[in-house]
Amino acid sequence: MSLAPVVTGTNHLLAALPSDDSEQLLARCVETELAFADTLYCSGEPISHVYFPTTSIVSLVTPIDSNHNLEVGLVGYEGMFGLPLILSINVASYNAVVQGAGQALRLSAPLFLHELETNAAFKRELKRYLYVVMSQIAQTAGCNRFHVVEARLARWLLMTQDRAQSDQFHVTHVFLAYMLGVRRVGITNAANSLQNKALISYKRGNIKILDRAGLEAASCECYRTEKALYERILG
């Protein structure tokens, strides 16, 4: 997904609102620090707060069984976590795991619901974002089924780079295997292949994107499909 550039430390959904609406929402939010690998919610738990990441990244992970999990979505400064509340459901549908440490704006569920009822621009923007997220989850399901690990890893790195707003970020083989639902050796082989092609450098969990265009070429079509959808719906 290609994200419109915004000033670091802001949230795209809130920044897209008229200034009065945005200022009103920001005044009710609490800035909070999210630590890497923290779990904000588990599937089935009540949603007491929603989160609008500013410099953090949150993975939406669905539990498959007692031993397996799979990432189905990624939320950074372009979006929010807590969308079921829009549908009048106060239960988390996925595990929300912090993939990139940083800050987020937190809003209590009652205040969020009040804003949905009284702020038409906010409600309209969130409905559009909900559609984009639903499409992303469907695209990810197909990607996980039909595309090879190397292409999926390239896509994941591009999505993470977009949200990190940086060419460098930290992630381990273990965490990547967990996110992509593959064995660690599969991640090692895919990362080594991308590194041998001089697309990335990867050492002790520190990843640097060396060739963005080359990484896009190595990625599956899913990344470009999501990019086009995001630009069409949210601009």
Answering whether pTM is above 0.85, one says yes
Q: What are the DSSP calls for 3-70, one per residue?
A: -----TT--HHHHTS-HHHHHHHHHH-EEEEE-TT-EEE-TT-B--EEEEESS-EEEEEEE-SSS-EE
**89-134 per-position pLDDT tens digit:** 999 999 999 999 999 999 999 999 999 999 999 999 999 999 999 9
Share of the chain above pLDDT 90, in %: 74
pLDDT of residue 8: 47
| CATH superfamily for domain 12-121 | Jelly Rolls (2.60.120.10)
147: confidence class by pLDDT, cuts 50, 70, 90:
very high
Cα separation values, 85 from 43, 49, 60, 71, 184, Å: 14, 10, 16, 21, 35
Enumerate the domain spans of the chain. Answer: 12-121, 148-219
Kindly state the average pLDDT of the residues 157-166. Answer: 91
pLDDT at 9: 64
User: From the CB of residue 84, how many other CB atoms can be counted at a distance below 10 Å?
Assistant: 16
Condensed to tens digits (0 to 9), the pLDDT of residues 55-90 reads 999 999 998 887 778 889 999 999 999 999 999 999
Task: Output the average pLDDT for the chain.
Answer: 91
Residue 235: predicted pLDDT: 76
User: Would you list the DSSP string of 60-121?
Assistant: EEEE-SSS-EEEEEEESTT--B-GGGGGT--B-SSEEEEEE-EEEEEEEHHHHHHHHHH-HH
167: tokens are: 């060419």
148-219 is classed CATH 1.10.10.10:
yes
